[in-house]
Structure 1
């Protein structure tokens, strides 16, 4: 399957978040936006939806428009057990990487990554994106042994990535 040209998205969502995501994703995409993440904060009663606008920057008017279009669907389907506040936002500079295009656009940037299964007896890595092709992430991973930092190239299939997030540094502001 050629995921670089499809709508594949890494989802590190609970079943409740995934249900909401599935309900609202077609509405959001039809308006020219992509979901980055859906998160429910049970303690503070907040439903947070992070989006990006296709080919433009997300602004406050976009957030209002999306909120108005998805609230009736969320209410009608009774997916939240009680009253929640909905927050629509952009993912920020140190954003999650969820689609193949995100990895391609961030070659040379540093990320933290969590995997669904071990590669070389580890599920968590930190390193620089060296490349992305045929649904495989090439990561120049940082390895620390006895306070000595070294690097190792690791090939990671996108299908086993649970979460990938950019590391905030000066490179992101260039």
Structure 2
């Protein structure tokens, strides 16, 4: 899910070690567009705290650009875009489903399950290689194999917005405390 196509996966193999060495984790990579106007979109976060500031995007972009210029894995011109996954982020790794337990998400599967491919509910963590989700109107928690999920994203809710505000407030307080102690 972090990459959609075979080309995405090759680029991920090239770029991921660079991101990890710089202290970041790639959440999702997509090479989009046709032959003339392509865009390499990389969503990443700091490995240490899951945050991603503008300065982090610039730092990671520079590191990736060096490797991309040397390896030249994309034919023609492209634009590199490095960003934060955002508040209503994609869920691309099994650990994301555990991290965001208790928040609402939308899942799309690569096959039919219970007569449908799309599900919406509250994440209930993980169980082995399965994503646990409490579906609206269902009595029991559903377990969906992670390998069946082709797209997953948090739903923008008041609870998720509150979490985002709390994370920003904590980060600002930590930065202010650091500046005071210097």
SS of equivalent residue, structure 1 residue 104: helix
Larger relative strand fraction? 1
Supply the distance in 2 between the matched residues of 1:42 and 1:123 (Cα, whole angstroms): 26
What is the aligned partner in structure 2 of residue 55 from structure 1? 48
SS of equivalent residue, structure 1 residue 13: coil
Cα deviation per residue 1:85-111 (whole Å; 9 max; x = unaligned)? Answer: 111100000001122221111111111
SS of equivalent residue, structure 1 residue 138: strand
* Kept in 1: contact 2:24–2:45 (CA 8 A): yes
Cα deviation per residue 1:93-146 (whole Å; 9 max; x = unaligned)? Answer: 00011222211111111111011222223221111112322122111123xxxx
- Number of paired residues? 158
Q: Which of 135, 142, 150 is the equivalent residue of 1:154?
A: 142
**Displaced runs of 4 or more, over 6 A:** none
Question: Is it true that 1:172 corresponds to 2:160 in the alignment?
Answer: yes
What is the aligned partner in structure 1 of residue 69 from structure 2? 75
What is the aligned partner in structure 2 of residue 18 from structure 1? 9
Give the superposed CA RMSD: 1.7
TM-score (normalizing by structure 2): 0.79
Cα deviation per residue 1:50-109 (whole Å; 9 max; x = unaligned)? Answer: 001022321222112211111132233222121111111000000011222211111111
Question: Is it true that 1:45 corresponds to 2:38 in the alignment?
Answer: yes
Which one scores higher on RCO, CA 8 angstroms, separation ≥ 6?
1
Structure 2 unaligned blocks of 5 or more: 163-182
Q: Which of 1, 20, 34 is the equivalent residue of 1:29?
A: 20
Q: Which of 87, 92, 114 is the equivalent residue of 1:93?
A: 87
* Kept in 2: contact 1:11–1:162 (CA 8 A): no
Larger relative helix fraction? 2
Cα deviation per residue 1:16-61 (whole Å; 9 max; x = unaligned)? Answer: 2111111000110121110011112215522110001022321222
* Kept in 1: contact 2:2–2:93 (CA 8 A): no
Question: Is it true that 1:120 corresponds to 2:111 in the alignment?
Answer: no
